[in-house]
Chain A
């Protein structure tokens, strides 16, 4: 029998901690120990029985921080960028040479990375109980970063049967703008769990653009809860291209708290054999005149599973809301699976809201057309897949970043 109960002595080991923090951590740990890893009995996990996945793949899990230093990292040469280097979730170094450094503050985990919100999500509770590393990034008022920031998420070879719990926080002050690429490089050939909670605060008139992408296929089991708070006129955009993990769930919550704020989540995913990938969005329209847009495109090879759970909530005062959601899946094999669950909860009357979900196999007539031009079935299939995912990639404005993403996607699709 598995026993993943975590001893409260783990919390006692945390130094310099207030009574409030300690109680918060203990409460969360109790919740986790009572409920265990989330199973499909929970509505939010009905398509991804994480408990089952953990039991099948792990006999033990070690929660200790894994410190490691990377001597040399191969920075991407595709475009100029600032960077933050995380090694196993710990902040190792950063470089903002392209920027006015007085406008940027980057630190390791700080006490205020905790937001003291209660959660019913066992993984978030586990993170609340144990996380004591991560990073905190703050952009001062009235500053637009000149170059994109790559966050190198580096995982070292020795990670094995580990569960990493990290908390990050990004604050973008008024009238500021930052573009981030979350780039995961995983050197571990072993199985481990990465459990991240990230808080993003977009102050008035600020802009945040986020791209998620993996460098390589790996045996990681990743969960990320990303909570985004949008104040008036702010703009959040997130592109998800990260696939190639054994398990990957991105849980994105956006609170549109200020008038005229906008959030936009788009993804283009190619799931290879045995991949399991879930995207969950919850968009809370809490103020007037806000826009939200979600488009999730997935291509699924044999024995892969994709899930999209998208909820749009519109509060009674959130008049003139404009919300749009679309999920499209292309199933390449009869044993691939895609589940989609759109949910609307609307309490305002002046609202424009639409959603749609389609899934199907490759169009035989299109394949035939391409093959009459001398391409074989495999080449034609790949061309159609690439074409299917391309409209999401095309939205990326920077030509060099677009090319970088296209190359990565092609590598996933063509497998070299």
Chain B
């Protein structure tokens, strides 16, 4: 599904990713851990198409060169990023935004646009699954949401848009223990043999609830260690120092 080879990324002449290799197959869930500033969010941004980076290396998604396609085309191909810091968009109603977003993606998939009634039904179902109060959805997108509420809203968007490949950038940070479980359930119920995930986290705790197939350590722009879920437990005890 995703094939990254010798990925080099720099911004403003600062080199951030320095030859990263990663391969994710359909149905797999990969976790990435690593110290602050090691380039995890940069990787997520490069995958979802943010501008401003100088990029070289191989970056293929379902056989297509990602470097060639725009942000919204990637979204339409099924790449989704749950932001580490979701943005507040004043004056844009969450509900209406979600419907617009879903319909533009459905259109690209060749599906029929969803009418308001069926959309609201879907929204109700997914938001109650995540314990999101419906009142939130009539508010402006993320404006005044608490940190945890913003993260939940990201996962709600993921559930509604139903992408093939989801990147979760520290979605667990700042969540209380109940919210963490809810979000983990949300992810787990979406897992199947076609859908893949890249979960960026600092805490092994999350991986107790979401079992990864692989765990990688990203340090100074490279993946320095890969293993199965036990690697996360090991890191929790020893920290990153020994992996270098």
Question: Which A residues are closer than 8 A to B by beta carbons?
Answer: 363-366, 368-377, 379, 383-384, 386-391
Contact = CB atoms under 8 A, between A and B. Distances in A.
B99 to A, nearest CB: 11
A364 B53 CA distance: 14
Contact of B80 (A372, A387, A390): A372
Given A373-B101, A374-B105, A375-B101, A391 B90 contact: yes
Interface residues of B, number: 28
A364 B87 CA distance: 11
B91 A391 contact: yes
Contacts of A373: 75, 97, 101, 105, 157, 161
Nearest to B143: A387
Contacts, number: 72
Interface centre among B50, B71, B161 (most CB of A within 10 A): B71
B71 A371 contact: yes
A387 B74 CA distance: 25
B41 to A, nearest CB: 12
B76 A386 contact: no
B90 A372 contact: no
Contacts of B80: 372
Most B CB contacts (10 A, CB to CB) among A365, A368, A373, A379 go to: A373
A363 B140 CA distance: 17
A390 B96 CA distance: 14
B105 A368 contact: no
B23 interface: no
A366 B89 contact: yes
Most chain A CB inside 10 Å of its own CB: which residue of B51, B83, B101, B157:
B101
B177 interface: no
Contacts of B70: 371, 376
14 contacts: A363-B87, A366-B87, A368-B71, A371-B70, A371-B75, A372-B72, A374-B161, A376-B104, A383-B97, A386-B92, A387-B90, A387-B91, A388-B90, A391-B91
B104 A384 contact: no
B72 A390 contact: no
Contacts of A371: 49, 70-72, 75
